[in-house]
Amino acid sequence: MGSMDPTELREDRDTDIEDDASRDPDASADAASTSAVSTGAAFVHPRWPGAVLLTAFVVIAADQLTKWWALERLSNGRLIDVVGSLRFNLAFNSGTAFSFGSGLGPLIAVVAVVISLGLWWTSRSMLKTSSLLAVGLVVGGAIGNFLDRAFRPPRAGTEDGLLRGAVVDFIDLQWWPIFNIADAGIVVGGILIVLLGGFGPPIEDEVEAAAAEEEEEIKEEDEVEADSDD
């Protein structure tokens, strides 16, 4: 019976791991993260920044299109009852999400951009694709409201100036401040980031355990090969 070199056994095992990773992006991220820690290199998720940017684009597009619809259909004071307490009711906000912090528009806009850029950059080390999508929700929501502050006119009776445009809100639950798609993206994305976690690379103990397990597998393969030679 022909024998196989231990090096070939390792190559076959590595090929199987790579095939599994290609079918599962998160498995690929885990493998890349472990490799990054063991080599001291910086880990970057294989779906970054594409997953974040695509999700952000979808949120921005949905936000701006629905705001355009609200301005077209609700500007005359019209209310549209949807289901239960949910209705569409046009309002303008110069503060934070959900109409808090009225009058702080310029400061809020700058802070939102800085946080979004920081979150986008740090998300490259996330281990889960779902976490990248959550970051995209937050970034898209922040940019959606920033566009309002930058390009829409200020709310009636408020001071004009840079980044003092009024954010368009129209989703009214009647038991919560009126909000928009961008607000929803920020809140839902933030909650998902906390719940999903997924920042990497893994802690050193996990990496050492994985390396020890791999070494044990190689040793067992070598023993099997030695027995077959006998």
Active site residues: 169, 183
Instruction: Please list the helix, strand and coil fractions of the chain in percent, rounded to the nearest 5, in that order.
Output: 65, 10, 25
Four-CA torsion 146, 152, 156, 159, nearest 10 degrees: 60
Q: What tokens appear for 140 in the block?
A: 């898209």
Phi/psi of residue 223, each to 5°?
-65, -40
Please answer whether residues 164 and 81 qualify as being in contact, where contact means their C-beta atoms are separated by less than 8 angstroms: no
Distances (CA, A) of 107 to 156, 157, 203: 19, 19, 37
Q: Which residues of 155-182 are buried (b: 16+ CB within 10 A; e: fewer)?
A: beebeeeebbbbbbbbbbeeeebbbbbb
Structure-token match 């800085």, residue found: 114
Length of the chain: 230
d(CA 77, CA 181): 20
DSSP at 76? T
